[in-house]
Chain A
């Protein structure tokens, strides 16, 4: 019944206002979406698209294309193949690379009026950190998070640590992690103190947070230079390495991102550094009391933002661009941003989302949901350069070599810098 009514309403609207729908000239959009299927997210996105269609008559088809890296690949190959989407949610950090491919259209070119510009200003500044270059805004924050720590309170209590006090400095973290690491009679580890993701696609995110914790930014704003061989970057790498080789509180070698939450839920890792977007999942599945905390830092808490923004593609015609912008504004409306945050754990991208009754109530009932937001003031943007994926690979390879014991922290960072310099050479302005 509801469906029929909607259908009737839509067609009635179309009949009643042919001029409007002609002026729009578009009723279909497709959006590439990075998922992580298996979670509840596709259903939520599908729901938003349906609601948007009911409101505007514009049909948005989401294409779920795998994780961030895969979605990036798919979106770009599709656009190059001439069948691409009009918009996509991709890593905020891909801005320079996408721009370099000359397939993006900036928000300014989409025709923002004064009110629209005000809307852009309404996002948390940290989430726009990877959106702006040359005075233009290239993407709209949506599926945004920061790195946060999930910790097993039962394990904390067992190790004689205060479950309500999470480490705030590197030294405290290392000490706590060492205490939390539990071995059986034969010396075999049954629980690791802490696990950080170091696999391809995630290592650079972990490292971005660590670098910020040492008080260091890894690249310039133009995305043409990197600063890996800086002593502070080396210090960050050395700390990560020491968790494995000195404190023996994290496994040597790689720990893979997809494995972290099963490890945590299994009780195999007492602390994991993960995305806020995993909060609802952990809340539903953890069989023990757990806590959420901001990342520590060398001296005090520091973190990195992450996640995906909405990008708009050049190939869309004027009507499609207008429709795409409309969709972006629809998604970031306060009550939707609030709903999104409650149902996934991602951070509401705008302060006004936290003014809504729904989110206010949720945060009061479930305080961990508001932990990450408190760390936005100490968060930096993600590592983002031209040839982003290549620089990521250079960094990831070296991080992995370092965590495998094949390279020292200094060596790994010097090698990363050399490789990044080689990759970015064509982009350096004289």
Chain B
């Protein structure tokens, strides 16, 4: 009995330092944010006042919020599959005996090591109308110039392209690690059965990669809602909110307009969204994953 209690105490002593910090800067602010969202923003000498769900009602009436939500949904639905599929293709490519394989692997991975804030500046130049790189390239093919970031129709796709470019290489590493850890016997067995390349990939490789895919997906989903650095640098949400993502709107509301209550309300919505996605991923997708 005493031994059990001692181990419990020891275990808690080992966990506590990390747990305290974790709770203090993740769980506590989440709860505090929820509470804040039920009050008004203190202004000058006016103290916060309890208003219940009034902030949420106001949010429902805010067209920019709906725009941000819509943008973020589109952004996630495009960038997640695109970067995951590209990552898998890249991993498959550098997993074969390709000429210049190490160089290629490096090329794919480089964007991961560059700060988004830094590369956003470079992309800004690429998207510059008339004499930017993209307009030069399309110009060669006789197409007209385009105001990539200044046109509401192309601004968000441009941002998505940057995100996919930034993320795919990072996810590739995980796929590559998984591919290289795959037992070679499998291929031999498959070749005996004379299965085609595509069949082998679909029936053997892909299922074996499911745990990796889940891991990568979780990361991709988080990043789709977490990474807004390029929005800050390249468009500031414009034109007319075409590239406003939820976290950027939180930043703007909280630290440009100092409307902390509204920013808290937005944060709660984002947290609820992330929570729902987490449950979906681990619950529904997780069950389909065949762990070895």
Which residues of chain A have C-beta atoms less than 8 A from B129's C-beta? 251
Q: Which residue of B lies closest to A72 (CB)?
A: B256
Which residues of chain A have C-beta atoms less than 8 A from B128's C-beta? 259
A404 touches B44 (CB 8 A): no
Is A24 an interface residue, CB under 8 A from the partner? no
Contacts between the two chains (Cβ within 8 Å), count: 84
Cα A266 to Cα B135 with chains together (Å) = 15
A400 touches B152 (CB 8 A): yes
Which residues of chain A have C-beta atoms less than 8 A from B150's C-beta? 198, 251-256
Is B145 an interface residue, CB under 8 A from the partner? yes
Please pick, from A101, A198, A254, A268, the residue contacting B43 in the complex, using a CB distance under 8 A.
A101
Is A215 an interface residue, CB under 8 A from the partner? no
Which residues of chain A have C-beta atoms less than 8 A from B44's C-beta? 100-102
Q: With A73-B255, A188-B145, A189-B130 as given contacts, are A400 and B239 in contact (CB-CB < 8 Å)?
A: yes
Is B95 an interface residue, CB under 8 A from the partner? no
B240 touches A406 (CB 8 A): yes
CB distance from A226 to the nearest CB of B (A): 16
Is A190 an interface residue, CB under 8 A from the partner? yes
Q: Which of B122-160 contact A (CB under 8 A)?
A: 128-131, 139, 142, 144-145, 147, 149-152
A389 touches B256 (CB 8 A): yes
Q: Which residue of A lies closest to B129 (CB)?
A: A251
Cα A224 to Cα B90 with chains together (Å) = 57
B257 touches A396 (CB 8 A): no
B240 touches A400 (CB 8 A): yes
CB distance from A38 to the nearest CB of B (A): 12
Please pick, from A73, A76, A254, A268, the residue contacting B238 in the complex, using a CB distance under 8 A.
A254
B145 touches A189 (CB 8 A): yes
B130 touches A268 (CB 8 A): yes
Q: With A189-B130, A266-B131 as given contacts, are A404 and B255 in contact (CB-CB < 8 Å)?
A: no
Which residues of chain A have C-beta atoms less than 8 A from B256's C-beta? 69, 72-73, 389
Q: With A255-B150, A404-B151 as given contacts, are A101 and B236 in contact (CB-CB < 8 Å)?
A: no
CB distance from A80 to the nearest CB of B (A): 8
Q: Which of A196-225 contact B (CB under 8 A)?
A: 198-201
A101 touches B238 (CB 8 A): no
Is A77 an interface residue, CB under 8 A from the partner? yes
Is B241 an interface residue, CB under 8 A from the partner? yes
Is A401 an interface residue, CB under 8 A from the partner? yes
| Most chain A C-beta atoms within 10 Å of own C-beta, residue among B147, B240, B241, B252 | B240
At the interface, is chain B mostly helix, strand, loop or mixed? loop
Is A86 an interface residue, CB under 8 A from the partner? no
Which residues of chain B have C-beta atoms less than 8 A from A253's C-beta? 147, 150-152, 239
B152 touches A187 (CB 8 A): no
| Most chain A C-beta atoms within 10 Å of own C-beta, residue among B43, B129, B130, B239 | B239
CB distance from B261 to the nearest CB of A (A): 13
| Most chain A C-beta atoms within 10 Å of own C-beta, residue among B130, B139, B144, B149 | B130
How many A residues have CB within 8 A of the partner chain? 40
Q: Which of B237-292 contact A (CB under 8 A)?
A: 237-241, 252, 255-258
B238 touches A199 (CB 8 A): yes
Q: Which residue of A lies closest to B251 (CB)?
A: A73
Q: Which residue of A lies closest to B61 (CB)?
A: A422
Cα A80 to Cα B43 with chains together (Å) = 11
Is A186 an interface residue, CB under 8 A from the partner? yes
Q: Which of A273-326 contact B (CB under 8 A)?
A: none
A77 touches B145 (CB 8 A): no
Is B45 an interface residue, CB under 8 A from the partner? yes
| Most chain B C-beta atoms within 10 Å of own C-beta, residue among A69, A72, A387, A397 | A397
Q: Which of B196-245 contact A (CB under 8 A)?
A: 236-241
Cα A254 to Cα B252 with chains together (Å) = 20
Cα A102 to Cα B44 with chains together (Å) = 5
Which residues of chain B have C-beta atoms less than 8 A from A343's C-beta? none
Q: Which residue of B lies closest to A390 (CB)?
A: B257
CB distance from B197 to the nearest CB of A (A): 44
| Most chain B C-beta atoms within 10 Å of own C-beta, residue among A101, A186, A253 | A253
Q: With A76-B258, A100-B43, A101-B258 as given contacts, are A404 and B237 in contact (CB-CB < 8 Å)?
A: no
Q: Which residue of A lies closest to B232 (CB)?
A: A70
C-beta contact mask, A119-131 vs B, less than 8 Å → 1, else 0?
0000000000000
Q: Which residue of A lies closest to B148 (CB)?
A: A253
A188 touches B240 (CB 8 A): no
Cα A77 to Cα B260 with chains together (Å) = 12
Q: Which residue of B lies closest to A186 (CB)?
A: B142
Is A341 an interface residue, CB under 8 A from the partner? no
Which residues of chain B have C-beta atoms less than 8 A from A401's C-beta? 152, 239-240
Please pick, from B130, B142, B239, the residue contacting A254 in the complex, using a CB distance under 8 A.
B239
CB distance from B257 to the nearest CB of A (A): 5
Is A398 an interface residue, CB under 8 A from the partner? yes
Cα A190 to Cα B130 with chains together (Å) = 7
CB distance from B164 to the nearest CB of A (A): 23
Please pick, from A101, A102, A200, A251, the residue contacting B147 in the complex, using a CB distance under 8 A.
A251
Q: With A199-B236, A251-B150 as given contacts, are A268 and B258 in contact (CB-CB < 8 Å)?
A: no
Could you write out 8 A-B pairs with CB less than 8 Å apart?
A102-B45, A188-B139, A198-B239, A254-B150, A266-B131, A268-B130, A404-B151, A406-B240
- Given A389-B257, A400-B239, 14 further pairs, Cβ under 8 A: A101-B44, A102-B44, A102-B45, A189-B130, A200-B238, A253-B147, A268-B131, A390-B257, A393-B257, A397-B64, A398-B240, A403-B239, A404-B240, A406-B240
